[in-house]
């Protein structure tokens, strides 16, 4: 990348105004003012001429797109932490660096996870719907009874930054913290969180009251909570997912929710976003959110600042701080 010229940057979605303003100052930028997702053809045209692409989770940066990139295209500065929408292997083969925005969304996503951990057992969404529909006739001793979470066992699938942040919050609410992770976390972390490690995901699932999915989506975690594994859950158990929809077999989850084989679920992510399986909408025992886990003003601006730093560092000829490795 020629350091004497401003890099040509294409941004695929509308970003917060302070972020876009700073980008205009630093780079030669093509913004998406209308915030209409770019088509595959538009993405392909962009990488033919730009130096840097700034995509989001809604953009499929696949091998077909990357095959059409020009020789000048050298950086994908992803606006977000997850990079499962980017073909990392092809990017590396073509000499394209990929960066993301880790850490800044940890607290926001953990807050949303905790919100669902509270809302689902206590039936908050269901109660709010009944109130709006005029179905509340006053307090009654046995109406809309949920379950307390204090003293229950929480099984966290994925004990990375977000999983640990969830564990800290859960501990404060009196939950017993358990976890399964690709590798066991340091003993000091376990002791601080009072967390119990399960090497076997199957064994953990069978013993928990609530399951929280907080691992990244990779080929290894696709349908990690498969039909077989979901059947291991106890009938009173709840499932919360604020990670990626592809980690859970949605069809199997719907069947179990409908039959009452598990008590309920709280979902912020789905397999085929933005399409939602309509069968979810028919169920009372599932709380649904439109992928809001990272949706705070502070978090989105912090994400933008990381993108800016990654582009500027790369344009200056240095390795960007948030470079994504192939085995993420």
Distances (CA, A) of 23 to 30, 42, 95, 308: 10, 21, 24, 7
* Residue from 244, 246, 250, 300 carrying the catalytic annotation: 244
- Rounded Cα distance, 255 and 240, in Å: 16
- Rounded Cα distance, 91 and 76, in Å: 9
Q: Is 169 a catalytic residue?
A: no
Cβ atoms of 149 and 121 within 8 Å: the answer is yes
- Rounded Cα distance, 90 and 291, in Å: 28
Distances (CA, A) of 140 to 27, 144, 145, 253: 62, 9, 10, 32
* Residue from 22, 229, 291, 300 carrying the catalytic annotation: 291
Unique residue bearing structure tokens 């077909």 = 64
Q: Is 194 a catalytic residue?
A: no
Any idea what the Cα angle at residue 183 is, between residues 181 and 184, rounded to 5°?
85
Query: Which among 168, 207, 169 is positioned nearest to 185, based on CA atoms?
Result: 168
Q: Is 193 in a helix, a strand, or coil?
A: helix
- Rounded Cα distance, 269 and 289, in Å: 8
Cβ atoms of 105 and 303 within 8 Å: the answer is yes
Written as six digits, the tokens of 315 are: 């344009």
Q: Is 244 a catalytic residue?
A: yes
* Residue from 45, 107, 190, 273 carrying the catalytic annotation: 273
| Catalytic site positions | 244, 273, 291
């Amino acid at each position: 990348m020629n350091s004497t010229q401003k890099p040509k940057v294409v941004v695929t979605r509308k970003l917060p105004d302070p972020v876009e303003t700073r980008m205009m100052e630093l780079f030669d930028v093509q913004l998406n003012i209308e915030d209409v997702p770019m088509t595959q053809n538009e993405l392909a045209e962009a990488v033919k001429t730009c130096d840097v692409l700034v995509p989001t989770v809604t953009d499929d940066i696949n091998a077909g797109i990357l095959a059409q990139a020009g020789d000048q295209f050298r950086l994908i500065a992803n606006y977000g932490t997850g990079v499962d929408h980017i073909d990392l292997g092809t990017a590396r083969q073509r000499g394209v660096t990929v960066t993301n925005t880790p850490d800044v969304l940890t607290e926001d996503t953990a807050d949303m996870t905790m919100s669902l951990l509270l809302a689902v057992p206590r039936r908050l969404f269901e109660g709010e719907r009944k109130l709006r529909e005029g179905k509340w006739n006053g307090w009654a001793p046995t109406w809309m009874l949920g379950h307390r979470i204090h003293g229950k066992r929480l099984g966290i699938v994925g004990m990375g930054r977000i999983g640990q942040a969830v564990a800290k919050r859960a501990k404060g609410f009196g939950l017993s913290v358990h976890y399964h992770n690709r590798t066991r976390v340091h003993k000091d972390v376990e002791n601080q969180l009072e967390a119990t490690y399960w090497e076997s995901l199957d064994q953990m699932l069978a013993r928990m009251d609530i399951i929280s999915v907080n691992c990244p989506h990779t080929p290894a975690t696709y349908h990690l909570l498969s039909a077989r594994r979901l059947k291991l859950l106890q009938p009173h158990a709840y499932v919360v997912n604020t990670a990626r929809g592809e980690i859970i077999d949605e069809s199997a989850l719907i069947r179990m929710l409908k039959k009452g084989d598990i008590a309920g679920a709280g979902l912020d992510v789905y397999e085929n976003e933005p399409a939602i399986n309509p069968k979810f909408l028919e169920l009372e025992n599932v709380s649904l959110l439109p992928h809001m886990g990272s949706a705070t003003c502070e978090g989105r601006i912090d994400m933008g600042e990381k993108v800016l730093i990654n582009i500027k560092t790369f344009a200056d000829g240095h390795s960007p701080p948030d470079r994504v490795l192939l085995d993420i």
